[in-house]
Each structure stands twice: as structure tokens, then as C-alpha cells.
Amino acid sequence: MKLLLDTHILLWSLLDPDKLSKRVAYELENSSNELWLSPISTWEILLLAEKGRIVLDAEPATWLRGVFERIPVKEAVINHDIAIRSRILKLTHQDPADRFLAATSIVYGLTLVTADRRLMTLNELTVLPNG
């Protein structure tokens, strides 16, 4: 399976793994699965750290670079198709990060791993729900 990690799933897997369901934890550890991450998640993590909403054990950019060295994630590059798709999604909210993550999942044919109920209800997405 090709799994696109929602930002909170990546953070929980690293900082609070007890928040992951058994199924999600298993799939993240399963070496036959590919783990994908959007640059939007990198941006969100930096924002969360700047606002003091998460505490990391190193400067945020350094911490993220360390994560990318330790975890074999593929970068889901944002492109024009993703930008277009992000605006035509039938989401009930305008959160740009959610829109980009959902569009990335659709354009690349990835399964979005998320606990976000608003994203789970989007029929166009293939989702591995946490919870």
C-alpha cells in the first residue's frame, strides 16, 4: 500500500505512538508499504512548533531533517494538478493544508492515513482511518 501520512499521524507516530490505532501502527511498520509525506506536512509541523503547539527535542528544521534521514518517506511533490484539484474538492471547510493533502492523495493514487473525520467523509479519497 502507498500511504500518505496526514501531519498528525506522522507526529503521533514519532511523539505519541499510543494515539495510533493498532491497524495504523501495523501498516506504518509494515515494510511492504510505502510511506509518503507532503511538503505541506513539513510546513504544518514548522507552524505548530512556532506557535508552541508541539514541543520537539531539537530546533524544528533540524528535527525534521533528522526524521527524513531515519524514516524512509517519499516526497509527494506539489504540482499544478494538485493545486487545481485542491480547489475543486467537495470539502465543507477551506483549510488549505487539508485541501492539499486530500488532492495529493487523489492525484498520486495514495491512501491517506488520517484521524480527521472531515477528510474521511470525502468520497474521492481512499482512507486508512485512525480510529
Closest listed residue to residue 74, CA positions, set 106, 33, 30: 33
The domain ranges of the chain are 2-129
pLDDT tens figures, 21-72:
999 999 999 999 999 999 999 999 999 999 999 999 999 999 999 999 999 9
Range 53-62 contact pairs with CB under 8 angstroms and sequence separation of 24 or more:
54/11, 54/15
pTM as predicted: 0.95
* Domain 2-129 coded CATH 3.90.79.10: no
pLDDT tens-digit readout, 117-131? 999 988 899 999 998
The sign of the CA dihedral 102, 127, 52, 76 is negative
pLDDT in tens, 69-121: 999 999 999 999 999 999 999 888 889 999 999 999 999 999 999 999 999 98
